[in-house]
Amino acid sequence: MDRGIIAAIIAMLLVLYSYQPLLTFGCIALACLLLLVLMLRIPALRSGVLVGGLLCGIVWGYGNVCLSQPSNLFALAHAFRFARAYTITDISEQYGSASEPVWRIHAQDLQGRDSLFYWRAEAAQQPPEIGDRWWFTVKIGADNRRYNSPSQAPQRTLIRQRIYSLGQILQAERLRAGNSVRQRLQRALVSSELQQPGLLMALLIGERYAIPYTLKRQWQRLGLAHALAISGLHLALVAALVLRLGYVVLLRLSAWCGAATERLPVRTYCEAAALTIAFGYAAIAGFPISAIRALTMLSCLFMHRWLGLKTSGWRILLRSMGLMLCIDPLAPLDGGFWLSVIAVAVLFLSYWRAPRLHSVARLVYLQATLTIGMAPLTLSLFGGVSSIALLTNLLVLPVLSSFTLPLALFGTLLTFAFPSASAAIWQLAEQPLLWLQPWLAHLASESWVWIDRRTSGYIVWLALGCLWFLPLHWRWRLLLSVGYSGYLAVNQWGQSDVMKLHLLAVGHGQAIVIERNNAALLIDVGWAAESGYSIAASEIDPWLVARGLWPELAMISHTDTDHSGGYRYLAQRYPNLHWLGRPSETPCQQGQQGVWHQLQWRILWPVTALPDSWQENNRSCVVQLRFGHFTMLIPGDLQALGEYWLMRQQRDQLSSDLLVLGHHGSRNASSEQWLDAVAPQVVLNSSARYSRFHFPNAVIEQRVEQRGHTLWDSGKYGQITVWSDGLHWRLTTPAEPSQRHWFE
């Protein structure tokens, strides 16, 4: 049976991660036929199980791929509006300012179809709550989320979450307030005067939107992000607590009643109670995906014990994976699935080979092996690992598991009968975390805490060296070493001969990265909100880390927030980064120039003295870059007035092969005279899809098309990359069909 499960899992993974599922379907089917031909040499039962597993995996995987293809609402060329009643099922993020909050909410219509909406509301408007029913007037359209590569495809996330449509809420009217247990708990937590209600809200009902963004970043840098929401860790802690209490209570009860302890199935009762309580805990949290995975593994383990099936932990893990893929066939598209599976596998391996140690030393050993074993996957999914994750987990998790979580759950039981007592218990439960938080914040601020992909190569080489001391066959050690060495060599091949300009998709704003020799030159750094949310922290910096780039020089065109919002974060993140342009200390002025990795740059605008009446946009820093014979012009938010005066001064210097449109393609910029003076071969623009400003303007698009060019807009195509060797150039986007999986 296990061979069949392995075959089915492999077939499903090949189908789910293929670029052409139909082609993969045929290839695996052909492999099945070949196995059938070889059945004469293989025992019939074994070969039948293997072929049957492959066929089941093919049918189940390909069938779910067909059923999960992107909805027609994702393929719309134009947005449309309608009004409909929705029930809010989740609030995944809250940002923006106090005067103009923005929520990202998941809602379900009366037909049971899930949608993802962005809602920008006034502060006076009643905030949304999970379980409320609203009448929304929405603008539905294609995926307007930022698509930058390398990154997890936004479409994959939509399909993984079963999102039918997405868009923006224009008007909202509350029809009915929800009154579920989960919503009543949320209200009780908000009204309990906690200093950090978001922490307990995440632990008890799985909602993380109330946790401040800076706190999320700090815990991620410390390797504690998994502790901020209900996951397998929390369900395992609850189950272990119920098991321990159940043993004590039932044993004493049996002794008091005079029953024969050995005849009472104490273990079975305790395990059934643990599974029931864990199920209730997950139900209160709304059955998040991570909780469903943990419940599946826990149920599979207990079923083996109840049925008296004696088998290894590896077989139980394999069967748990098979059961998870039956319940949730698209689970492998979620990085959390692999985190759960690898974590359990590492624990099995470390527990099996763990030396005989004292309980505390054994705990340290298991946590160390878990931290090291999970490091490669964490590095791949999150772009880095915490260097002190072992220390912080050993410090925080015992406090969380032995004090905060039990007290918080006890307070939850008293919520509806004794609300004042539950509030006091919750306040007591959060105290250890409040005491630890200043120390955690100080540690998270240190630059050496987070090891990203750019510095992790040395760590991986060290790990590969340690690999040769593990009890593995020498062939496996050699295969891993050669494979990683080859990956590094292929990854670096030919990178020194080209220059790449990346126009990132950052919504309404601008962020440009020039890549050369594993270094980066930044031009504008996106927007930021008053709440502390920064596109530099959420998009630009992870993107730099994922590509292994170190920023060395940054230019900011002007002080508008949509261009300079990431300055504070990046200046703190990279203290050696040299800045040019306000709000940095070095202003941008005409005549400045330099050479960066064989790329020549010079500032064409602004001049030193400009009238005070001029807008900030016309004071934008206009930079021209030249790599070999390939020239690029980036004018910031320069408008027609600034363009006119710049053409009067340096018209013969403006000719460039690449032009980024000024002011996001608005009508008051990119005049016909300007386009004729620059005479570009390729035209780029940075804007948000379905922008409320309607950028780029239709008149500007027409002007570009009249000159025989396509306007490449980041709101439509996502990240746009232009490659050049100094003579020739080519343009690529992640949205190209040849670079897309089926779920994109």
Average pLDDT over residues 478-506: 71
In sequence order, what are the residues at sequence separation of 6 or more whose Cβ sits closer than 8 angstroms to the Cβ of residue 560?
616, 617, 637
Q: Is the peptide bond before 101 cis (omega within 30 degrees of 0)?
A: no
Instruction: Using the predicted structure, report yes or no on whether residue 656 has a pLDDT greater than 90.
Output: yes
pLDDT value for 77: 43
pLDDT value for 635: 94
Instruction: Using the predicted structure, report yes or no on whether residue 513 has a pLDDT greater than 70.
Output: yes
d(CA 225, CA 67) in angstroms, rounded, equals 33
Poorest-confidence range of 30-44, 102-116, 431-445, 595-609? 30-44
The overall average pLDDT reported for the chain is: 81
The neighbouring-strand residues paired with 603 are 623
Question: Is the separation of the CB atoms in 202 and 208 below 8 Å?
Answer: yes
Bigger pLDDT: 724 or 614?
Answer: 724
Instruction: Using the predicted structure, report yes or no on whether residue 458 has a pLDDT greater than 60.
Output: no
Helix (H, G, I), strand (E, B) or coil at 89: strand
- Which residue from 479, 535, 552 is spatially nearest to 688, judged by alpha carbons? 535
The neighbouring-strand residues paired with 583 are none
pLDDT value for 468: 56
* Confidence band, pLDDT 50/70/90 cuts, at residue 75: very low
d(CA 49, CA 5) in angstroms, rounded, equals 9
In sequence order, what are the residues at sequence separation of 6 or more whose Cβ sits closer than 8 angstroms to the Cβ of residue 499?
514, 515, 516, 599, 627, 630, 723, 724, 725, 726
d(CA 666, CA 699) in angstroms, rounded, equals 9
In sequence order, what are the residues at sequence separation of 6 or more whose Cβ sits closer than 8 angstroms to the Cβ of residue 441?
218
Q: Which residues of 129-143 are buried (b: 16+ CB within 10 A; e: fewer)?
A: ebbbbbebebbbbbb
Poorest-confidence range of 359-363, 438-442, 502-506, 551-555? 359-363
Q: Per residue in 348-390, pLDDT tens? A: 776 665 556 666 777 787 788 788 778 777 877 777 788 888 8
Q: At what angle do helices 197-205 and 405-413 cross, to 10 degrees?
A: 80
Helix (H, G, I), strand (E, B) or coil at 170: strand
d(CA 599, CA 626) in angstroms, rounded, equals 6
**β-strand 519-525 against 114-120: which pairing, if any?**
unpaired
DSSP state of 73: G
Average pLDDT over residues 441-452: 83
Average pLDDT over residues 671-692: 89
Bigger pLDDT: 485 or 92?
Answer: 92
Helix (H, G, I), strand (E, B) or coil at 327: helix
- Which residue from 153, 161, 335 is spatially nearest to 718, judged by alpha carbons? 153
Average pLDDT over residues 130-147: 74
% of the chain surpassing 90 pLDDT: 21
d(CA 648, CA 132) in angstroms, rounded, equals 60
Average pLDDT over residues 288-302: 87
Bigger pLDDT: 234 or 739?
Answer: 234
Q: Per residue in 420-432, pLDDT tens? A: 899 999 999 999 9
DSSP H or E run through 391: helix 389-399
Question: Is the separation of the CB atoms in 593 and 621 below 8 Å?
Answer: no
Poorest-confidence range of 132-136, 181-185, 462-466? 462-466
Instruction: Using the predicted structure, report yes or no on whether residue 654 has a pLDDT greater than 60.
Output: yes
Instruction: Using the predicted structure, report yes or no on whether residue 599 has a pLDDT greater than 90.
Output: yes
pLDDT value for 76: 47
- Which residue from 225, 347, 339 is spatially nearest to 293, judged by alpha carbons? 339
Q: Per residue in 253-274, pLDDT tens? A: 766 665 545 556 778 888 888 8
- What Rg, from alpha-carbon coordinates, does the chain have? 29
